[in-house]
């Protein structure tokens, strides 16, 4: 018998996957992965999937959450798109998004450019300070801003009056109430978006800016021709996040205006809360929730596809 054959027989048990009586390595990895995934999947199934399926079922019934239910089919969805109250909420939500998304992006991008430059001393300290509002609860922030905007004791009105500007009680103004709650949301979220823009800016090679300087491009031209095109993916990500946040606006509105004055700040989410928990019309509230969910998904997908197409055009 040859030496090679004897060596193969001697080491054959070691060459087998995992050895005799042991679980193969691949199987052990699968078992470990399943053990880690099962608890998370169970929590998602209990607290996310089950309520979503229950709300989907409720959206086809006339239900108060107590007693019997009456099947109405798509009647609740028809009411959502025909009731003037809900149509006004859609309009207010669109106005909120139009005000919030551009303002949040512009402020966060400008601050990211400033924090990415070397002219600012103690950049780490300033970055932490600018990010701090994001970790504060939006409801707590809304309480603070409510006092700041108070016409009697608010510091903001006091400071503005010192320079001859009197804005009065903005939260009771149908015209100024929406910009006021948008201001709080921008203050709360710009730090998070700034950090995302900073990550995108730091991925841009410095050699591209040096080449642009050699070609005679000024700061504005470098921003338009180098920075913005290379921030396309980051911009798409931030716009989608800001849009989702705008469509889900509730906390600061509930704290500061409760949807007023004269329903000027009533959004889709505040209407869901009022319809479901105050009027106990769970069927319509569930239908409105799914309309909001589908609208958010469609807008996010459209923005993602638009960003992907823009990136392909730039690469071509």
Cβ-contact 181, 260 below 8 angstroms: no
Beta bridge partners of 71: 61
Q: What is the CATH number of domain 81-315?
A: 1.10.3720.10
Q: What pTM did the predictor assign?
A: 0.83
Torsion of CA 251, 257, 259, 261, to 10 degrees: -160
| pLDDT tens digits, 169-198 | 888 888 989 999 999 999 999 999 999 999
pLDDT of residue 22: 66
Greater pLDDT, 167 or 138: 138
Does residue 30 register a pLDDT over 80? yes
Cβ-contact 184, 99 below 8 angstroms: no
| pLDDT tens digits, 44-65 | 999 999 999 999 999 999 988 7
Q: What distance in Å separates the CA atoms of residue 80 and residue 105, rounded to the nearest whole number?
A: 31
pLDDT of residue 310: 63
| pLDDT tens digits, 226-278 | 888 888 888 988 998 899 999 999 999 999 998 888 889 999 999 999 999 88
| pLDDT tens digits, 67-101 | 788 899 899 999 999 999 999 999 999 999 999 99
Does residue 10 register a pLDDT over 90? no
Domain ranges within the chain, ordered by starting residue:
12-71, 81-315
Average pLDDT, the chain: 85
| Cis amide leading into 261 (omega within 30) | yes
Q: What distance in Å separates the CA atoms of residue 77 and residue 81, rounded to the nearest whole number?
A: 7
């Amino acid at each position: 018998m040859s030496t090679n054959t004897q060596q193969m027989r001697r080491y054959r048990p070691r060459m087998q996957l995992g050895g005799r009586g042991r679980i193969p390595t691949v199987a052990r990895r699968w078992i470990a992965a399943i053990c880690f995934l099962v608890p998370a999947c169970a929590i998602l199934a209990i607290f996310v999937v089950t309520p979503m399926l229950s709300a989907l079922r409720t959206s086809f019934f006339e239900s108060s959450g107590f007693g019997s239910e009456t099947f109405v089919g798509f009647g609740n969805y028809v009411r959502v798109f025909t009731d003037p109250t809900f149509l006004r909420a859609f309009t207010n939500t669109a106005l909120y998004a139009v005000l919030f998304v551009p303002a949040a992006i512009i402020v966060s991008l400008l601050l990211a450019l400033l924090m990415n430059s070397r002219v600012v001393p103690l950049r780490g300290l300033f970055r932490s300070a600018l990010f701090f509002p994001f970790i504060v609860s939006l409801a707590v922030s809304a309480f603070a801003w409510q006092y700041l905007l108070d016409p009697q004791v608010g510091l903001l009105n006091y400071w503005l009056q010192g320079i001859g500007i009197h804005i009065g009680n903005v939260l009771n103004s149908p015209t100024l109430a929406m910009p006021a709650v948008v201001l709080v949301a921008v203050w709360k979220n710009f730090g998070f978006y700034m950090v995302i823009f900073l990550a995108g800016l730091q991925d841009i090679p410095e050699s591209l800016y040096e080449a642009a300087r050699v070609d005679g491009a000024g700061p504005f031209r470098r921003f338009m021709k180098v920075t913005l095109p290379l921030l396309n993916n980051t911009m798409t990500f931030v716009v989608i996040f800001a849009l989702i946040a705008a469509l889900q606006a509730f906390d600061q509105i509930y704290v500061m205006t409760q949807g007023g004055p004269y329903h000027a700040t009533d959004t889709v989410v505040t209407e869901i809360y009022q319809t479901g928990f105050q009027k106990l019309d769970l069927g319509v509230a569930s239908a409105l929730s799914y309309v909001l969910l589908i609208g958010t998904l469609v807008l996010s997908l459209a923005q993602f596809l638009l960003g992907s197409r823009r990136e392909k055009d730039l690469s071509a």
